[in-house]
Amino acid sequence: MLFYFFSLVVCVVCLMDGGTFYDFIMWFIFLTFFAYITRELEIWRIIKDVERYIILYKGMRDKALLTTLNAFKEVAARSKSKLDIKTLEDRVMSLVESVLIEPETMDPYGVVSKLKHIVVTGEETTTREVRRLIPSASEVEVENLKDLIAASRSMNMVYKAVDHIYRLGRKFKSIWLLYQLQALLPFLTEEMKSLESSLEAFTNGFPIGDSAGPLLAAKFIRKHATEIRIEEPAKETIAVEVPFKNRRIIVVKAKGPSGVTGRLDDALEELLVKRRLPAKLIITVDAALKFEGEKTGTIAQGVGVAIGGMGVEKFNIEKIATELGIPLYAILIKMSGTDALAIMCKEVYEAVDKALLIVERIIEEYSEEGDTIILIGVGNTVGIYP
């Protein structure tokens, strides 16, 4: 609208300067054609820019699928299991294309428990599918293969979503739709690079940046435990009682070294509600995304529950702590999204040792002798023992 107003002004000035009506029409046609061409060229430029990203994302997605298939073949070869390649490809692609349908929120009451039920069902279904393909695979191998499938699924979803919006923008020549997609591409690229960096770690069973919480928990156990007695209060989740400064520390983490995050809320419910442990503090330690200007390995303290994901475990832990009146303290080890899913770097490893000292200080200052404290190492425990 502003452009056409400007064009009209130019034409009026042309007439006032002695130009003919023919000059007026020619100027108007020229300016209108110029505006149209400029818009078409801008759409073409954005389309070409988005296409480059789509090619990049497709290559990353295909690499993830190939890595996942090769991992299945390697596990099958180690366990001397026979695999039909065509069946394997079809099953893996089916798992990658599978979706989790969130529960209805029209009536929000009980939505968290419904969401958890759906998430648990999805995890158990994936486990059964992997077991069906390689019956003799170990528990660690199954969980690492599940992590590879999850990474491939996320990368596939990003690729398909970007391709969908690109096709709509190109089909209707919607410059505003393409502008919005172009603005999101740097953030989506970071996410794709983060997922791509996790492939090597899950294939080889190496700790990743997100393993900082479980690593701190394991270090605390090894540093202070006189005798390590492991129990499993919830599926894929362990608890170890450790003495420290005349206090009773219950360390909770996912069961390593497989690539799982455990069921921390179920473990806490078992310990605090069913067994009625008189806990005075709950301390959670987890990886957190840093700001662009922050250094990897920066440590932040806070109150609340340091845990990511869909919010189910966070909600349940907060609910238990609130009902029992237990203070919640958190330690965050900051890193980029790529560092969180890539093989653990030196900065994160060194930050874990510093965070361990902070945890010990919090226990000493915020509790008294004879108290029971829950220390939770949050995150994927791939490559971390116990």
Of residues 19 and 213, more confidently modeled: 213
Q: Indicate the angle between helix axes 139-172 and 85-97, nearest 10 degrees.
A: 60
Given pLDDT bands bounded at 50, 70 and 90, which one contains residue 14? low
Distances 318 to 212, 233, 371 between C-alpha atoms, Å = 22, 19, 20
- Is the predicted pLDDT of residue 6 greater than 90, yes or no? no
Give the pLDDT of residue 40.
83
Give the pLDDT of residue 206.
95
Here the tokens at position 260 are 């799982």
Give the pLDDT of residue 341.
94
- Is the predicted pLDDT of residue 12 greater than 80, yes or no? no
- Is the predicted pLDDT of residue 5 greater than 60, yes or no? no
Place of tokens 């990049």: 56
Closest CA to 380 of 279, 305, 307, 281: 307
Contact residues for 264 (Cβ-Cβ < 8 A; gap 6+): 234, 237, 252, 254, 307, 313, 317, 376, 378
Distances 249 to 100, 252, 322, 360 between C-alpha atoms, Å = 37, 10, 20, 11
Here the tokens at position 193 are 């690079």
Give the pLDDT of residue 80.
80
Give the pLDDT of residue 130.
94
pLDDT tens, residue by residue, 139-150: 999 999 999 999
Here the tokens at position 155 are 């990368």
Given pLDDT bands bounded at 50, 70 and 90, which one contains residue 2? very low
Give the pLDDT of residue 18.
53
pLDDT tens, residue by residue, 181-213: 999 999 999 999 999 999 999 999 999 999 999
Portion of the chain with pLDDT greater than 90, in percent? 81
Dist. CA 317–CA 329, nearest whole Å: 12
Contact yes or no for 249/222 (Cβ under 8 A)? no
Place of tokens 């170890």: 240
Contact yes or no for 156/123 (Cβ under 8 A)? no
- Residue 287, classed as helix, strand or coil, is strand
- Is the predicted pLDDT of residue 154 greater than 60, yes or no? yes
Q: What is the mean pLDDT of residues 86-109?
A: 92
Q: Could you tell me the pTM of the whole model? A: 0.89
Of residues 20 and 228, more confidently modeled: 228
Tell me the CATH architecture of domain 209-377. 3-Layer(aba) Sandwich (3.40)
Dist. CA 262–CA 312, nearest whole Å: 13
Give the pLDDT of residue 21.
58
- The side-by-side arrangement of strands in the sheet containing 328-335 is 230-234, 237-244, 247-254, 372-377, 279-289, 328-335, 299-303
70-79, 91-100, 219-228, 354-363: which is most confident: 354-363
Domain boundaries, the chain: 51-203, 209-377
pLDDT tens, residue by residue, 289-331: 999 999 999 999 999 999 998 899 999 999 999 999 999 999 9
Phi, psi for residue 289 in degrees, rounded to 5: -70, 135
Contact yes or no for 277/233 (Cβ under 8 A)? no
Here the tokens at position 21 are 């009506």
Amino acid at 158: V
Here the tokens at position 191 are 């996410």
Dist. CA 21–CA 190, nearest whole Å: 56
Whole-number average pLDDT of the chain: 91
Dist. CA 122–CA 99, nearest whole Å: 9
